[in-house]
Amino acid sequence: MAKRTHLFLDLEDTIIEPVTDGWHNTRLKNVEKVRRVISEVKPHQIHIFSFAIWDLRQLGLFETSLTRKMIEDALSIRLASIPTVDDDIIPVCTNVRKIACETVDFQEMSAFWGKEGAFRLNCLHVFKNAKEDGNEIEAILLDDDVRNENIEFPDLNLRIRLINIDTLEG
């Protein structure tokens, strides 16, 4: 069975300063910490999992502002996926919970599941076929707004780790 590690990075206060003045004014943060995590876990793919990219418009601004390029260049990586809240995260969470998507907005999602719960539900959806595919998946979220936590779903060959970047040395 092949083990695949996927590292998901939060954006604001994890890898970049908060986006208060627009995506074109973002600055990197915690680069050495993130590099150390990448070196230690050796992920097969690196993704973004952030509530800062709400929709396709915000994703476009993230791309055209060169924030994506700045992050990829600083970390010497290529991002595999960047889900948006409205188009990806909420639909996935509601699908897994068997709730009508149109009945849940961002505020409710944040109140119901928070970042930890939304990430867990996202992983349950994205990696639901890992066992059938013969893979063992480790999904790691590096974020400033989560508690350090390990969760296992043995029937899915899925392990989820939440790492609070503020608890890391450096």
CATH number at residue 29: 3.40.50
User: Which pair of structure tokens corresponds to residue 136?
Assistant: 């063992």
Distance CA 161, CA 130 (A): 16
CB 117 within 8 A of CB 146: no
Burial of 54 (0-12, 13-18, 19+ CB in 10 A): middle
Give the global pTM: 0.94
* Ordered per-residue pLDDT tens for the chain, 170 residues: 788 999 999 999 999 999 988 898 999 999 999 999 999 999 999 999 999 999 999 999 999 999 999 999 999 999 999 999 999 998 988 888 888 878 777 677 777 788 999 999 999 999 988 877 788 999 999 999 999 999 999 999 999 999 999 999 87
Range of the domain at 7: 2-167
In this structure, the strands spanning 149-153 and 135-143 are unpaired
Nearest to 162 by CA among 104, 128, 129, 113: 113
